[in-house]
Structure 1
Amino acid sequence: MHLRHLLLIALFTLLSACASKEIDTDLSETALYQQAQTNLDNKNYSSAITKLKALESRYPFGRYAEQAQLELIYAYYKNLEPEALRASADRFIRLHPQHANVDYAYYMKGLASFDQDRGLVARFLPLDMTQRDPGAARDSYNQFAQLVSRFPNSRYAPDAKQRMIYLRNLLAAYEVHVGHYYLKRQSYVAALNRGRYIVENFQETPSVGDGLAIMTEAYQHLALDDLAQTSLETLKLNYPDHPSLASGNFKPREKDVDNRSWISKATLGLITSDKELRPQQTQASKDIIRQYENAAEQIPSTVRTALDQEKPKRSWLNRLTFGLLGT
């Protein structure tokens, strides 16, 4: 038991010595910076972060202060701390907007968001990145775009541009997945809007053909044949080898679903339910009808009475013959 106590005391003493060594107040600026560099070289990023933060706080106007802030950004990146990285990069940009290496801070911000979706799980499992939340990809694209716009001659600009191409393709592919989801759920107006958004905002990406296919299929389900044909001709002209085209004919991804009641199906449509909707009677059309009805109800009673008086009155013979006879 006595030996165990001695071992515990020795262990705590060693740990205390290590901790005190990391925050040794007697270290000069140069010595503290050199220790941080040694930690970075040895990939001991947690200790490097501690040293760099101590260097910045003790010598805020020293010769290594600005360089320590830049290397702190790098240490946070290697230590997988994207939020701390972005905070440090924003702080450096705010304090040193004219610094010669401020473009590095912009680049690292974009890189942090770029790698955010690639955690340990994504690195070892075959996950489809196009089906994940595009928030981080969108942030990364915007940050790289800011770098390229402000510093077109930066050493990091070529790499940022290549990453932007990848991210743009990724965002477009995500929109395609959303469009297919809406088609599957029979939300054809929403699917149409997604397809149009892809065509209008993601030109020169592989997903434009998919956007045209989504538009064509949505128009077909909505019984808008002329618009469907226009989208189909555009698809054939620009993407003749698209998977939705089989021998020149369009192959819908989702088939029309028969939403009729069982009695309507059994009687071949002779008896239908009032709840059944035509394919083109979408939520959008119902909203328009509802707006019309609300507007009609707001017409003043005097005006409504005058309009009713102008309507021609039908005779009993006209009503009985469904308008064939009488006036």
Structure 2
Amino acid sequence: MRRLIALLPVLVILGGCSSLSNLFGGNDDDLGPDLPADKLYNEGVYLLNEKNAPKDAVKKFEEVDRQHPYSEWARKSLLMTAYSYYETRQYDEAIGAAKRYVTMHPGSPDVAYAQYLIGASYYDQIPDVTRDQTRTEKAIQSLEEVIRKYPTSEYAAQARKKIEVGRDHLAAKEMEVARYYMQKKNFIGAINRFKVVVTQYQTTRHVEEALMRLTECYMMLGIASEAQTAAAVLGHNFPDSPWYKDAYNLVRGGGFEPSENKGSWISRAFKKVGLG
């Protein structure tokens, strides 16, 4: 969705202009107090679609807000400013402009897109799992606002897809830290991290490995009942998973069978979301 076609109106050809060059020609000195708001806005739209020109478009849209702050064109220009910043990967500026739009125009039909743009700007900055995930968390929070406040908007479905990716990313971060703890033989620390994946990110692709690793950690600590439960829950919910084969072999190798303890936190966690 790199082009917000729905928000780009048909250019208004002003009277007395015989060509696009007349309409969009000139330089920054033309940004005077006598320039109509619609002309400034349309120049911004034109520049936004020109190669390497989105930054110039921002100047036009911001000028509308400066010269005509209470006009309908100023409202439209503020959203286009946010979008132009997003196009040029100036994400902090895009977030700032979009937040301003949400605050100033909460009843606008385009407010759902402004909120989505905030989340998308954070989302596009998600770092790899070895780094701090604050941006990922902010992306999810902002996109959840789209779904909560504007569930019927066209952006709700796109927000859900991005949230799913973001949650998977956070789960991957927990797995990375947990594996590190395992390497250091800090099994309690590892269990606490795997527990986060099982309880908070249960619908991600990482939950199968997390259950197997829990089996491994509990076996290393000699807590067989929890190891048996982790293996049993893994086998019940993901019987074809290769991780279940590993968990099964671990438990059997210790002289036990996978067996679910209904009172275990693992069992309760899966029943809570209806997977058990």
TM-score normalized by the length of structure 1: 0.64
Q: Which residue is equivalent to 2:152?
A: 153
Please state how far the C-alpha of 1:232 moved relative to its aligned partner.
Answer: 2.2
1:77 to 73, 86, 101: 86
Q: Which residue is equivalent to 1:40?
A: 48
Which amino acid in structure 2 is aligned with residue 93 of structure 1?
Answer: V
2:118 to 88, 105, 109: 109
Q: Which residue is equivalent to 2:264?
A: none
Task: Report matched runs for 1:216-227 at 5 Å.
Answer: 216-227=215-226
Which amino acid in structure 1 is aligned with residue 237 of structure 2?
Answer: N
CA contact (8 A) 2:212 2:243 kept: no
CA contact (8 A) 1:179 1:214 kept: no
Provide the C-alpha distance between the structure 2 equivalents of 1:213 and 1:243, rounded to a whole number of angstroms. 6
Q: Which residue is equivalent to 2:98?
A: 89
Provide the C-alpha distance between the structure 2 equivalents of 1:48 and 1:26, rounded to a whole number of angstroms. 19
Structure 1's unaligned 5+ residue stretches are 1-16, 119-128, 252-327
Please state how far the C-alpha of 1:242 moved relative to its aligned partner.
Answer: 2.7
Change (3 A) 1:216 1:246: closer
CA contact (8 A) 1:89 1:108 kept: yes
Which amino acid in structure 2 is aligned with residue 249 of structure 1?
Answer: N
Which amino acid in structure 1 is aligned with residue 242 of structure 2?
Answer: H
Q: Which residue is equivalent to 1:63?
A: 72
Please state how far the C-alpha of 1:90 moved relative to its aligned partner.
Answer: 1.2
The C-alpha deviation readout for 1:50-72, integer Å capped at 9, x for no partner, is 11111101101123111111111
Please state how far the C-alpha of 1:195 moved relative to its aligned partner.
Answer: 1.1
Provide the C-alpha distance between the structure 2 equivalents of 1:117 and 1:167, rounded to a whole number of angstroms. 8
Provide the C-alpha distance between the structure 2 equivalents of 1:73 and 1:140, rounded to a whole number of angstroms. 16
**What is the total number of aligned residue pairs between the two structures?**
224
Give the 3-state SS of the residue equivalent to 1:27 in structure 2. coil
Task: Report matched runs for 1:245-284 at 5 Å.
Answer: 245-246=245-246, 248-250=248-250
1:27 to 28, 35, 38: 35
CA contact (8 A) 1:219 1:225 kept: yes
Please state how far the C-alpha of 1:148 moved relative to its aligned partner.
Answer: 0.3
Please state how far the C-alpha of 1:178 moved relative to its aligned partner.
Answer: 1.5
Structure 2's unaligned 5+ residue stretches are 1-25, 252-276
Give the 3-state SS of the residue equivalent to 2:103 in structure 1. helix
Change (3 A) 1:246 1:192: closer
Matched, 1:242 2:251: no
Please state how far the C-alpha of 1:244 moved relative to its aligned partner.
Answer: 6.4
Give the 3-state SS of the residue equivalent to 1:147 in structure 2. helix
Please state how far the C-alpha of 1:82 moved relative to its aligned partner.
Answer: 0.7
Rg larger for: 1
CA contact (8 A) 1:168 1:205 kept: yes
Which amino acid in structure 2 is aligned with residue 53 of structure 1?
Answer: E
Task: Report matched runs for 1:91-240 at 5 Å.
Answer: 91-117=100-126, 129-240=128-239
CA contact (8 A) 2:33 2:67 kept: no
Which amino acid in structure 2 is aligned with residue 155 of structure 1?
Answer: E
- Greater mean alpha carbon deviation, residues 143-152 or residues 211-220: 211-220
Please state how far the C-alpha of 1:108 moved relative to its aligned partner.
Answer: 0.2
Please state how far the C-alpha of 1:74 moved relative to its aligned partner.
Answer: 0.5
Give the 3-state SS of the residue equivalent to 1:39 in structure 2. helix
Please state how far the C-alpha of 1:247 moved relative to its aligned partner.
Answer: 9.2
CA contact (8 A) 2:122 2:135 kept: yes
Provide the C-alpha distance between the structure 2 equivalents of 1:106 and 1:224, rounded to a whole number of angstroms. 47
Which amino acid in structure 2 is aligned with residue 35 of structure 1?
Answer: E
Provide the C-alpha distance between the structure 1 equivalents of 2:146 and 2:42, rounded to a whole number of angstroms. 31
The C-alpha deviation readout for 1:193-242, integer Å capped at 9, x for no partner, is 11111111112222111221222222122222222222222223333423
The C-alpha deviation readout for 1:117-157, integer Å capped at 9, x for no partner, is 37xxxxxxxxxx44443222221111111110111100111
